[in-house]
A and B are shown apart, each in its own frame.
Chain A
Amino acid sequence: MSVVSPKTTSVPNPPAKRPFFDWRVWTVAIVLLVAVGLAVLFGVKQNAQQGFYGMRLFPLKTAYDFKLHGPNGADVRLDQFQGKAVLFLFGFTHCANICPTSLTNLTAVYQALTPEERKQVQVVFISVDPNRDTPQTLEQYVTSFDPSFVGLTGSKPAIDQTVLAYGGSYEMVAGPTNQPNDYSVNHSAYTYLVNPSGKLELLYGNEKLGEVPKMVSDIRAVLHEPRS
């Protein structure tokens, strides 16, 4: 008899107060509250992801600190660019279509920023073809798009480690002539945005880079984030 049904408890109440304590009203109220709570939580999460044009990673994680060779063969680490937003992508200079298209779009994005903003942004092109791309070749290649761009290469293990750390992939494909140097490289074509705190924050498929105002808006948002 310890279980008392709501109906039984309501019996002694005065008829006028009955609706206020009706279990059905409470059930509906609680369901509504939970629904509103979930909607708010979900909305906040959606907002965190979707305010950006790029695919936002959540939660943010520290970006892998690659160590590769820059201009003149000097070591260049990702951490050297802390305090800047770094946009980097993988490619190779013998690439005739995808890589120049991505770099042309990134040039337009970079040049749409104000000079002050440009000082806080670094575009980096990482070769997945160290066999043919020397630091000198890469430097001439990337600086022809914008003098501030940096091209990186390195030993195959160092490049592989970097590609792997960013979840990417690449493969060499033999060309029609079967000559040792006639090959193409199929590669990940994402552009990765590392925020000024060194966290990997946004990803862009190569086909997204042409939307210059949206890219600029993302970069501005990242530059204005509180630093952690």
Chain B
Amino acid sequence: MVKFARVSVIGYWLFTLGFLLPSAPLLFADDQVAVTVQRPWMRAVPNVMDTTAVYMVLVNSGSAPAQLVGGSTVIADSVAPMITTKEGEGLKQVVGMKGVDALEIPAHGRLVLEPNGNHLMVMGLKEHLKEGAQVDFTIKLEPGDHEIHLKIPVQKKPVQ
């Protein structure tokens, strides 16, 4: 009976620690980013293009806002967050894009990167991956100089 109780006490601690350990970084570091990535994809582009774009949804489960500040991939020179701009009205309206230092992922909120909207522009393409390929892609978040390493599918259209 005593022996059984001791085993269950050890078992209890192992059980509890098993739950606590994976979440330890979140508990002990205030500047940790609690962001996950959904449905990432890179646009497959014609060989004559030296730029492309990466789209995804970033979900922030933390109670503090996070910033998407950039990214990197071996197949291109640089990656930068961009917003889509619209100036003027009616037929004279011009649509363009503009580099920004960061795109915010609100606390308990999401940042959507999508065609025609906000995106990560990939500049100086060194390799043109075909539809169906996968590319290693790293995104950089603040605070905490946080990086998330992803394998991103290359596609012509959004992930369904």
Contacts and interface: CB of A to CB of B under 8 A. Distances in A.
Interface of A: 93-98, 100-101, 104, 108, 137, 140-141, 144-145, 166-171, 173, 175-176, 184-190, 203, 206-207
Contacts of A108: 157
Interface residues of B, number: 34
Contacts, number: 97
A140 B92 contact: no
Given A97-B84, A100-B45, A141-B48, A168 B95 contact: no
A97 B157 contact: no
A190 B52 CA distance: 21
A94 B91 contact: no
Nearest to B47: A140
A168 B50 CA distance: 26
Nearest to B117: A97
Interface of B: 43, 45-53, 80, 82, 84-85, 87-88, 90-99, 115-116, 119, 121-123, 156-157
Contacts of A97: 53, 82, 84, 97, 115-116, 119, 121
Nearest to A192: B91
A141 B49 contact: yes
- Shortest 4 CB-CB distances between A and B: which pairs? A186-B96, A144-B46, A167-B91, A101-B115
Given A168-B92, A207-B116, 9 more contacts: A94-B49, A94-B50, A95-B51, A96-B49, A96-B121, A98-B97, A98-B116, A173-B98, A187-B96
Among B45, B48, B98, B156, max chain A CB count under 10 A is at B48
A140 B48 contact: yes
Contact of A186 (B46, B49, B91, B95): B95
12 contacts: A96-B52, A96-B97, A96-B121, A96-B122, A96-B123, A97-B84, A98-B84, A141-B49, A169-B91, A171-B94, A189-B94, A189-B95
A207 B43 CA distance: 17
A98 B94 contact: no
Contacts of A168: 91-92
A96 B157 contact: no
Contacts of B45: 96, 100
Contacts of A169: 88, 91-94
Nearest to A140: B48
Contacts of A98: 84, 95-97, 116
A186 B85 contact: yes
Given A101-B115, A166-B91, A168-B91, A140 B46 contact: yes
